[in-house]
Amino acid sequence: MIGFYNYTVVLTYVGLISTMFGMFSAGNGQPALAVICLIIAGICDMFDGKIARTMKRTKDECRFGIQIDSLCDLTSFGVLPVMIGFSLTGYKLSYAIAYSFYTLAAVIRLAYYNVTEENRQDTEAGERQYYEGLPVTNIAIIVPLLFILKRFLRISDGLFGIIYGVMILIVGCLFIIGFKVKKHPFRDLLDNESEDIIVQENFNDKN
């Protein structure tokens, strides 16, 4: 069998499976259930990097982990939120453009982050102190909060679809705008975006 199999990727795979169930739920007209699946995927992403650092792996295993993490992040946080949106609004050209832009921005951010983080660690020691732009994992917090707000304020479905579409567009812009976000200790869990795996790869290279 191709691939690398060890416990360090199990949680990432669980998050992906949860994402797939979320997509099925969204396609079946159950956006609330899809949001729960998004939350589960976010929780898995919070800890997969920490688990990866508990095992000393080969260079190829580390690189495999980087690719798996980024691909699953794209599916969980770049595609599932779009599926949730379509379950709310249906197909309309304006929404389709906004959702397509969001996913494209997520792809660009994830690729850019991985490249710049590898380059940074070639010249710097330790962990980065700032992020450029909004990490894609933050959507796993934003979407549930928006749904809670809808319930609390009793927003109509039609108005909520508009609000969701605007939110998706704004968040997509924040993915690729080059503002700096200071990294706080508690953000290690929320915004790892493959960094823990890359750190582990550099650790292995030195041993």
Q: What is the mean pLDDT for each group of 10 consecutive residues in the chain (207 residues)?
A: 75 92 94 96 84 71 78 94 93 92 95 77 61 87 95 90 95 88 54 49 43
pLDDT of residue 77: 95
Is 196 a domain residue? Answer: yes
Is 1 a domain residue? Answer: no
Is 56 a domain residue? Answer: yes
Report residue 181: phi and psi, to 5°.
-120, 120
pLDDT of residue 64: 78
Query: Cα dist. 179→56, 130, 135, 176, 182 in Å?
Result: 34, 10, 11, 9, 10
Is 94 a domain residue? Answer: yes
Domain containing 63 equals 7-205
DSSP SS3 for 132: strand
Residue 92 CA to residue 86 CA, distance in Å, equals 9
Number of domains making up the chain: 1
Tell me what percent of the chain is helix, strand and coil, each rounded to the nearest 5: 75, 5, 20
* pTM, rounded to two decimals: 0.81
First to last CA, the chain: 28
Report residue 191: phi and psi, to 5°.
-125, 40
Is 2 a domain residue? Answer: no
